[in-house]
Structure 1
């Protein structure tokens, strides 16, 4: 038995008291530090949860046509949309105590610290889901003490300001699953080509194991390692009571269909079109490019994926062995929706969009603007002018202009407007241009939608001033839809990641020309496919593709020394095609047919299975049979008859008498014509008497 002296006793008591005081002070400091830390974290407020999300472009059938992201392919999925098994599996393998701790698992942290000290490394981690989420949002993945301290602060801020469900939702939408896929939705899309809400337990257990080592455990890189990790996940789920041991075996043996996505650049549909969409979003709507690239937008467009693929197919088939370039634009003239766009033969080789960025001389595709102005100024389909070699004098006699027809071939006689446009007669066009005055063509073109620089000079009528492919193609819309100018529409709606609609674009149409004259212009442009309008000196310009067309169509072709064009339409589809060389190289013999062939084959293919709609005819338009050379009413003696449309009251009244063989026939023809005219008068008189007598209703 040890005997303590009084002095020793007091000394021992003093040491105990000092130790107690130090302990109390340490406890107070520790508690004060904890309170200070919590106060600091609270004062910092909730950390922002903005993360980069993939922006998705959709076609008009809501199919995905492309994506935009900056390194991180991520699609946000709310916790309510997730299969609950995803959360169960994730917590089982990553953080069993997630719903009971406050951001830190101190037992795991202590164990990890001891192992790191023993091994002399920092390899062992003990991060909770909250800590991992904080690191994904705000910090690097460096294994430093400073980073771990900052991670702890962020984790506290998350726990003090967000619910557990919000934290697990954020974690599952930001964690990296390999191959550029961030978040469970992007991972499900990449590995299984389905939404995370559609995953089964076998697929979930495979995906949940990947984040521990996205490259190491990737089932694409090493299937055996991925299966081993899947086994660990399934065992952890069984330990937590989510599944049975038998189910562990069944899910492990369930076959997995790993149809991972192809790289973005190869799965994109209509890349030239998507570039225009991006331009519209930034330039017209003023969206920040960073929001488009990483804001998780859903951009709904007008692109028809099926039509786009067909457009690209016919371009490739027609030009595969050629150095020629091309542009194609397909529009629904009823609302302006752009259905397909080709800006060149190969986007990867040349992203320059020839459909929207290039300006090329349109040739004779510019003539419809001239002839519409002519219709407004008294011309009809039957108006005759002579087609002959002509030198035009202008500018008070100081300037001359001598255009020529293709191949220097002329009728050397009268031809009608109906025949002139079908044959693309340049002399008829130039005479019309001089008769109207140069300003009339410019005014007509502007009204129909041409915005490029134009000038008051003779050759403008023959399409020598460059315009854009989309620009001039869309300008034909008014001819196809009853006189309304439409704005090309690429986007129908844009929705942000929270489901709020940022942009909603309705079709924009404006009546700019008379419906009856628009219909007559369409009838005139049907003429390029009517063999009855061929002449002895020239054939209709659509003859070479007649065998490819099997529905009512109208259009106009155009050719310069460097450019080949075809713009044509049905009531539901308007398509413009340009073919040429980027550097203005002269077209060789036969190369001028490519545009017409691409247009014809695409039009038929794009509308395959669709109704063969007629062009709607206004009530105040009437059809009569004329001689297409002189424009007079055709008789049975005329070798060629052409049915042409006129605004009521403007149709021809004189009958053709040029094809009568002898005086007797001439006399009989005159008698027949007189009888017809008399019958018309009598019929008109009878109607007048009935109306005056009240026997007939008048609208």
Structure 2
């Protein structure tokens, strides 16, 4: 028994000696490592404070978008720590790095805690960066999430900690951190948000500002005051946890109303401001850049903006809309073949309302949704000559539990058969809903999604008349796909991005995908020219008659009107443009003149934007054949049909029967026509078809 005990003791001693030796070796290595870091930091010296470089935005013609390139909307001041409110200092340290004065740049306990939290959540849910690390990151222009960047950041942190004292680091941090809206540093933030100096900030103001840098766009009180107040409460509670203020002071500060500064100089936003916002959103979502890099990375952003087209859009909007009206507007214009957005107007006054009605708003498209329905119909056996009766009727749905009764505009009905070509040109609602119900209500949803509509759509009879709200950008994109022969179109705002070293870090790529049948897309586009052709007049006038006389080239398009929305979207092979008119708070459009704004703005814009462009026609793809038909019945026209109209059909679906209605003395004529050249003069509209 004694021998066994002695043997165990010897083993224990050997283990203890081994642990002691390993421990000593690790301690020596750790000391060498720390000494090496300190030596490195001292040898490299204090890191130079990088001067942030302004990002410049260029238009399509290579000229700068002036407001952004001169001042970039930035305010910068450097204030000594003694000139910064103590409440700001305490609030910042409490929420960002409460052990700031007790560590040497890295909070090991916090790092370990963050790693454990991330592992438990299987995602990055907790940060562990100290103020020193964040300041080091702010001295870098590259904010990419690579291991090299993290390693470089750590070395910068060492250099900061070994060459500057804590107050100097804190001062630098507070003077460089981004507080949103172009305000860098606490003095600029105090001025921007509260119109005062940093030294004069109160506890409640300091807590509000200290909470913003974590996510400036998210926690800015000017973007979302409720989220900002929630963040302010967290900052105040962290100060209480650090024994800097009492619970009573927390409650008092949180309940004290804040007097924000609303007098901001945003003149830098005056050149296509809504377009600029769309570009910055694309820089975040597509190029994957953070806010600070976008603002201060010294980037050169080459955009797709056409300054001339933008000016034409803004000028016509200003000239056509009554300046006393509160009605709003949205316009988007892009090239259907490339997706390059050439002009964008998201509202009438950016200063009053930066809400972008092109990219953010969802509104009912009305009859502008019908081309999607008629494409689906063509896909399922319909042709431009397919006839159905236009008359008042009820449409039972939901297994007979509900009834939908649509009306035509002004309650005008043919009370007779009309063709698909007439139905789209006249915007006949009865024909549209009949078609929709024949195809099945889910078919239009499928087709709209295929065309790129991202909004939720309700599969009901009224969807044929555009009763589900959609985004304008999606609608213009969908029309662009039809104009482009069924090839997908993605709106592009950025051509390329060059970093401060002159390296191209992003270049837009055009990926072609044939989504729609090219023959059916072409026939749909041709059907959409009918809204401007008076030959399709029937029981009422074509919907584009009021602007047709002012158009000098062939356009395809569709208008749409609901009680609250007025739309016009149309295109040539070179340009597709959408215009929306309406009130922000769903007020009805009761003034007749306001309902006409969308068409008038669209017509004036398209004519002027294309004024110096050549006449380019749509080229019929294989599988499409032309035929002159009588618009009233959809049959092949004879020489006696004075209203004959050139129409395109998918090969094999063109009519084979000749019209006998217009023969003299009611005689029937069956002989075959030898060719289209024997047709009578068809006027300006058909002559323009030489470009198709």
| Structures share fold, TM-score greater than 0.5 | yes
Residue aligned with 2:600, SS: helix
**Does residue 475 in structure 1 map to residue 471 in structure 2?**
no
Structure 1 residue aligned with 2:550: 548
How far 1:372 moved relative to its partner? 0.2
**Correspondence for 2:639 among 636, 639, 644:** 636
Structure 2 residue aligned with 1:614: 617
Q: In 2, Cα distance between the equivalents of 1:40 and 1:304? A: 51
* Gaps in structure 2 of 5+ consecutive residues: 1-38, 78-138, 141-158, 164-181, 185-264, 676-692
Q: In 2, Cα distance between the equivalents of 1:628 and 1:330? A: 32
Q: In 2, Cα distance between the equivalents of 1:385 and 1:41? A: 84
Structure 2 residue aligned with 1:676: 672
**Correspondence for 2:653 among 650, 654, 658:** 650
Structure 2 residue aligned with 1:538: 540
Moved more, 420-429 or 507-516: 507-516
- Map Cα deviations across residues 372-411 of structure 1 (whole Å, 9 max, x no partner): 0000001111001111111112233222111010000001
> Alpha carbons of 1:655 and 1:496: their partners in 2 closer, same or farther (altered >3 Å)?
same
Q: How does 1:110-121 map to 2 (within 5 A)?
A: none
Q: In 1, Cα distance between the equivalents of 2:645 and 2:611? A: 29
Give the count of matched residue pairs: 455
How far 1:47 moved relative to its partner? 1.6
**Correspondence for 1:401 among 399, 404, 410:** 404
How far 1:638 moved relative to its partner? 3.1
How far 1:507 moved relative to its partner? 2.1
**Correspondence for 2:297 among 287, 295, 307:** 295
How far 1:462 moved relative to its partner? 0.2
**Does residue 71 in structure 1 map to residue 75 in structure 2?**
yes
Structure 2 residue aligned with 1:386: 389
Alignment check: 8 A CA contact 1:312 1:342 kept: yes
Q: TM-score under structure 1 normalisation? A: 0.62
Q: In 2, Cα distance between the equivalents of 1:597 and 1:70? A: 39
Alignment check: 8 A CA contact 2:73 2:266 kept: no
Residue aligned with 2:627, SS: strand
Alignment check: 8 A CA contact 1:277 1:491 kept: yes
Residue aligned with 1:577, SS: strand
- Map Cα deviations across residues 538-576 of structure 1 (whole Å, 9 max, x no partner): 100001111221111110000001111000001010000
Q: In 2, Cα distance between the equivalents of 1:375 and 1:676? A: 26
Structure 2 residue aligned with 1:53: 53
* Gaps in structure 1 of 5+ consecutive residues: 1-38, 74-136, 139-152, 158-179, 183-262, 681-699
Q: How does 1:159-308 map to 2 (within 5 A)?
A: 265-266=267-268, 268-308=270-310
**Correspondence for 2:602 among 592, 599, 604:** 599
Structure 2 residue aligned with 1:31: none
Alignment check: 8 A CA contact 1:384 1:629 kept: no
Residue aligned with 1:502, SS: strand
Alignment check: 8 A CA contact 1:362 1:466 kept: yes
> Alpha carbons of 1:538 and 1:40: their partners in 2 closer, same or farther (altered >3 Å)?
closer
> Alpha carbons of 1:364 and 1:453: their partners in 2 closer, same or farther (altered >3 Å)?
same
> Max radius of gyration: which structure?
1
How far 1:264 moved relative to its partner? 6.7
Structure 2 residue aligned with 1:518: 521
Alignment check: 8 A CA contact 2:528 2:558 kept: yes
Alignment check: 8 A CA contact 1:335 1:509 kept: no
Q: In 2, Cα distance between the equivalents of 1:570 and 1:353? A: 25
Structure 1 residue aligned with 2:455: 452
Alignment check: 8 A CA contact 1:433 1:441 kept: yes
Alignment check: 8 A CA contact 2:638 2:659 kept: yes
Residue aligned with 2:569, SS: strand
Alignment check: 8 A CA contact 2:327 2:583 kept: yes
- Map Cα deviations across residues 153-211 of structure 1 (whole Å, 9 max, x no partner): 99xx9xxxxxxxxxxxxxxxxxxxxxx9x9xxxxxxxxxxxxxxxxxxxxxxxxxxxxx
Q: In 2, Cα distance between the equivalents of 1:611 and 1:294? A: 41
Alignment check: 8 A CA contact 1:69 1:294 kept: no
Residue aligned with 1:290, SS: helix
Structure 1 residue aligned with 2:371: 368
Q: In 1, Cα distance between the equivalents of 2:356 and 2:582? A: 14
How far 1:61 moved relative to its partner? 1.4
Structure 1 residue aligned with 2:581: 579
How far 1:50 moved relative to its partner? 2.1
Q: In 1, Cα distance between the equivalents of 2:348 and 2:522? A: 35
How far 1:607 moved relative to its partner? 1.1
Alignment check: 8 A CA contact 1:368 1:521 kept: yes
> Alpha carbons of 1:626 and 1:266: their partners in 2 closer, same or farther (altered >3 Å)?
same
Q: How does 1:97-108 map to 2 (within 5 A)?
A: none
> Alpha carbons of 1:41 and 1:525: their partners in 2 closer, same or farther (altered >3 Å)?
closer
The two structures, once aligned, show a CA RMSD in angstroms of 2.7
Q: In 1, Cα distance between the equivalents of 2:40 and 2:641? A: 100
Q: In 1, Cα distance between the equivalents of 2:471 and 2:318? A: 22
Structure 2 residue aligned with 1:210: none
Residue aligned with 1:442, SS: helix
- Map Cα deviations across residues 72-125 of structure 1 (whole Å, 9 max, x no partner): 59xxxxxxxxxxxxxxxxxxxxxxxxxxxxxxxxxxxxxxxxxxxxxxxxxxxx
Residue aligned with 2:311, SS: helix
Q: In 2, Cα distance between the equivalents of 1:489 and 1:283? A: 12
Q: In 1, Cα distance between the equivalents of 2:341 and 2:526? A: 24
Structure 2 residue aligned with 1:560: 562
Residue aligned with 1:393, SS: strand
Q: In 1, Cα distance between the equivalents of 2:74 and 2:660? A: 76
- Map Cα deviations across residues 283-320 of structure 1 (whole Å, 9 max, x no partner): 33331111111111111111111111111111111113
Residue aligned with 1:484, SS: coil
- Map Cα deviations across residues 578-613 of structure 1 (whole Å, 9 max, x no partner): 001111111122211100000000011111111011
Residue aligned with 2:560, SS: strand
- Map Cα deviations across residues 44-81 of structure 1 (whole Å, 9 max, x no partner): 436245221111111111111142353259xxxxxxxx
Structure 1 residue aligned with 2:435: 432
Structure 2 residue aligned with 1:118: none
- Map Cα deviations across residues 267-291 of structure 1 (whole Å, 9 max, x no partner): 7421101101111112333311111
Q: In 2, Cα distance between the equivalents of 1:623 and 1:284? A: 42
- Map Cα deviations across residues 398-439 of structure 1 (whole Å, 9 max, x no partner): 221110100000011111000000000000001100111111
Alignment check: 8 A CA contact 2:73 2:268 kept: no
Q: In 2, Cα distance between the equivalents of 1:339 and 1:328? A: 11
**Does residue 413 in structure 1 map to residue 416 in structure 2?**
yes
Q: In 2, Cα distance between the equivalents of 1:363 and 1:438? A: 16
Residue aligned with 1:623, SS: strand
**Correspondence for 1:353 among 352, 356, 368:** 356
- Map Cα deviations across residues 450-490 of structure 1 (whole Å, 9 max, x no partner): 11001110000100100011111111111111111111111
Q: In 2, Cα distance between the equivalents of 1:468 and 1:617? A: 30
How far 1:265 moved relative to its partner? 1.8
